[in-house]
């Protein structure tokens, strides 16, 4: 159990509050002279009919709040402050981490609950750009966070594989397509003919008609058109798969927009039956005045379906197939209105599951000191960002003997640079609140001393090297002998123990707010406090064997915690540098 839960248990025993209420009311005081955990007594003033300071006085004196690890309990205004015994705290914190190992932070909150996380969702035949990387990285991290808390997670990739543009692509491919180029660099070739289509269309308007007809044939399942579309889709997916592999990302299914297209008539029938579908300028819409939203278009005036209708169908499908606890859409904030409309239509139609649909938005991606060969529409392709990051990391590692172990093979150095370089990109996406725009700057993201993945990975590798050295010297870590762990009572040791013990709480908060950055922040705090301790304390020297082995155990707990934190963010660590 983590300490916050221990405190909650004492409070629950003393006050009769439920564990959950007690746990969620506990605050972390801003200054250490106010204790390590605080309980706000105003929560009880109504039931006890007493002023909070009076309750605080009485509660602080309650013997039920005493425990071996509680140094003192003090009333301060309307708060009860808990001071935790340093050595004991460290002992519990370190053994909690080491007994859990890489499953540290695991909880059962989600047992029996299915959460759908939809993320990535790029468009077929279009480049995978840095905005798609944002949803991919966030969604991947959120999936792992939910899993850690015991939910069963379904990872969905809602591919943009449907729409009139595929009629255009078919027309364009028949006229100018290059089979060989399509096989080698599919997305590049598809983009080339797509751009050409739009240029040619200006001179030859009849092309638009041909494209429309091709799209109709595709919709009606004509074999030739379907075959071409299938090829475009498969080749695009093959290219996306390379990126997913580099990011370590995977999906349970790729039910894209096309998957839902034949479910739209049922949606239309349902909305009609409920009397919700109105005629407006030839289109069929659902009015959403009571939600203070503009009408949601379900069918366009030419009878074709739109993006929103496919999303409505997708919610109903997912509810039927998975009976989800939550259905999460990790999609950029510009689509916030779209999702509010979709969820509101379902709510209006009486579907309770509408309340369990969540749009997790995020900001824009910007660049400070980087030059990229931007393609159509000024987009930056993720692949180039990753390549550049790995190349620059390799330069840094090679030029810096302090970072790099000099006896490493070229392959190993390359492998490290790959993990660190890709980690640096991933971390930049998850280090701040997701609604904020992110700004890429090489100088910042590759700073081995900054708030970066290189810093975390480097710290991890350093801690691992201490463990290896200790093993060589025959020093054993103390975690099996609890008594020695209580020797970790210096402020710097306690600070590290405190940070690792707060990781499970950070994971829960990250889940509740869908903000992986809370884990990034906690992991960075663990690394910072550990480095401070490491720089000031000779871990493996001295003659006090017990103390050495206790410090070693702390070091091991730091490795495990950083490993868990980075794993939940989707970043790989390396064993040495």
Minimum CB distance to ligand ARG, residue 118 (Å): 6
SS3 percent helix, strand, coil of the chain, rounded to 5, is: 60, 10, 30
Q: Is 323 a catalytic residue?
A: no
| DSSP of 119-166 | ---PBTTS--BHHHHHHHHHHHHHHHHHHHTT-EEEEE---B--STHH
| DSSP of 234-278 | HHHHHHHHHHHHHHT---SB---HHHHHTTHHHHHHHHHHTT-EE
Q: Is 126 a catalytic residue?
A: yes
Cβ-contact 189, 177 below 8 angstroms: yes
With residue 199 as reference, give the H or E element that holds it.
Answer: helix 186-203
Minimum CB distance to ligand ARG, residue 342 (Å): 8
Dist. CA 465–CA 196, nearest whole Å = 56
Question: Helix, strand, or coil here: 282?
Answer: coil
Q: Which is nearer to ligand ARG, 135 or 531 (CB)?
A: 135
Minimum CB distance to ligand ARG, residue 247 (Å): 17
Minimum CB distance to ligand ARG, residue 117 (Å): 12
Residue that the structure tokens 């969820």 belong to: 343
- Do you know the residue count of the chain? 577
What interhelical angle do 223-247 and 410-430 show, nearest 10?
100
Dist. CA 485–CA 483, nearest whole Å = 5
Minimum CB distance to ligand ARG, residue 202 (Å): 26
Q: Which is nearer to ligand ARG, 36 or 257 (CB)?
A: 257
Minimum CB distance to ligand ARG, residue 300 (Å): 17
Q: Which is nearer to ligand ARG, 2 or 118 (CB)?
A: 118
Over the Cα atoms of the chain, what is R_g?
A: 28
Residue among 88, 126, 168, 431 flagged as catalytic: 126
Contact footprint for ligand ARG (CB under 6 A): 118, 121-123, 158, 160, 311, 329, 331
Q: Is 129 a catalytic residue?
A: yes
Residue among 132, 284, 359, 548 flagged as catalytic: 132
What interhelical angle do 545-569 and 410-430 show, nearest 10?
70
Question: Shortest Cβ contact with ligand ARG: which residue?
Answer: 160
Residue among 4, 129, 514, 548 flagged as catalytic: 129
Question: Hey, what are 29's tokens?
Answer: 């005081």
Dist. CA 117–CA 424, nearest whole Å = 24
Q: Which is nearer to ligand ARG, 150 or 332 (CB)?
A: 332
Cβ-contact 317, 116 below 8 angstroms: no
Q: Which is nearer to ligand ARG, 80 or 315 (CB)?
A: 315
Q: Which is nearer to ligand ARG, 121 or 477 (CB)?
A: 121
Q: What is the dihedral of CA 499, 504, 505, 507, to 10 degrees?
A: 110
Minimum CB distance to ligand ARG, residue 332 (Å): 7
Q: b/e for 198-215, b at 16 or more Cβ within 10 A? A: eebbeeeeebeebbbebb
Question: Hey, what are 338's tokens?
Answer: 């779209």
Q: Which is nearer to ligand ARG, 121 or 418 (CB)?
A: 121
Catalytic residues: 126, 129, 132
């Amino acid at each position: 159990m983590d300490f916050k839960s221990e405190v909650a248990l004492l409070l629950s025993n003393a006050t009769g509050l439920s564990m959950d209420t007690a746990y969620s009311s506990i605050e972390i005081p801003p200054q250490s002279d106010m204790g390590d955990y605080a309980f706000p007594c105003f929560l009880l003033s109504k039931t006890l009919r007493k002023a909070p300071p009076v309750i605080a006085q009485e509660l602080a004196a309650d013997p039920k709040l005493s425990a071996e690890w509680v140094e003192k309990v003090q009333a301060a205004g309307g708060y009860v402050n808990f001071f935790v015994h340093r050595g004991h705290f460290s002992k519990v914190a370190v053994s909690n981490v080491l007994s859990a190992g890489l499953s540290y932070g695991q909880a059962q909150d989600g047992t029996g609950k299915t959460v759908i996380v939809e993320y990535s969702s790029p468009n077929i035949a279009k480049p995978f750009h840095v905005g798609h990387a944002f949803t991919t990285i966030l969604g991947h991290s959120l999936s792992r966070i939910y899993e850690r808390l015991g939910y069963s997670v379904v990872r969905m990739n809602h591919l943009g594989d449907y729409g009139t543009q595929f009629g255009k692509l078919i027309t364009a491919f028949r006229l100018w397509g290059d089979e060989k180029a399509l096989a080698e660099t599919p997305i590049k070739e598809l983009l080339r003919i797509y751009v050409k289509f739009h240029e040619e269309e200006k001179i030859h308007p009849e092309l638009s008609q041909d494209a429309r007809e091709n799209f109709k044939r595709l919709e009606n399942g004509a074999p030739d058109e379907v075959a071409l579309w299938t090829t475009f889709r498969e080749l695009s997916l093959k290219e996306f798969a390379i990126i997913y592999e580099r990011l370590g990302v995977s999906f349970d299914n790729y039910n894209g927009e096309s998957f839902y297209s034949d479910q739209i008539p049922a949606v239309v029938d349902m909305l009609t039956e409920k009397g919700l579908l109105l005629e407006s300028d030839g289109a069929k819409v659902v009015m959403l005045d009571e939600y203070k939203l503009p009408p949601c278009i379900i069918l366009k005036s030419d009878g074709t379906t739109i993006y929103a209708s496919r999303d409505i169908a997708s919610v109903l499908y997912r509810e039927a197939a998975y009976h989800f606890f939550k259905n999460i859409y990790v999609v950029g904030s510009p689509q916030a209105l779209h999702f509010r409309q979709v969820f509101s239509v379902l709510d209006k139609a009486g579907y309770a599951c509408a309340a369990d649909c969540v749009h997790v938005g995020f900001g824009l991606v910007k660049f400070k000191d980087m030059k990229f060969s931007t393609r159509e529409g000024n987009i930056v392709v993720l692949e180039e960002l990753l390549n550049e990051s790995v190349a620059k990391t390799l330069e840094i590692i090679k030029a810096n003997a302090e970072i790099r172990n000099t006896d490493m093979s070229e392959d190993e150095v390359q492998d490290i640079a790959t993990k660190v370089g890709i980690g640096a990109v991933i971390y930049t996406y998850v280090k701040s609140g997701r609604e904020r725009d992110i700004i890429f700057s090489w100088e910042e993201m590759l700073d081995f001393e900054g708030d970066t993945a290189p810093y975390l990975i480097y710290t991890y590798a350093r801690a691992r090297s201490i463990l290896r050295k200790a093993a060589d010297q025959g020093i054993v870590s103390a975690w099996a002998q609890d008594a020695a762990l209580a020797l970790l009572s210096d402020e710097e040791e306690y600070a590290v123990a405190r940070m690792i013990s707060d990781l499970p709480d950070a994971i829960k908060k990250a889940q509740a707010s869908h903000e992986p950055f809370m884990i990034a922040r906690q992991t960075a705090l663990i690394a910072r406090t550990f480095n401070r301790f490491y720089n000031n304390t000779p871990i493996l020297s001295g003659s006090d064997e017990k103390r050495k082995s206790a410090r070693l155990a702390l070091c091991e707990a730091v490795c495990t915690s950083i490993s868990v934190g980075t794993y939940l963010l989707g970043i790989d660590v390396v064993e040495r540098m």
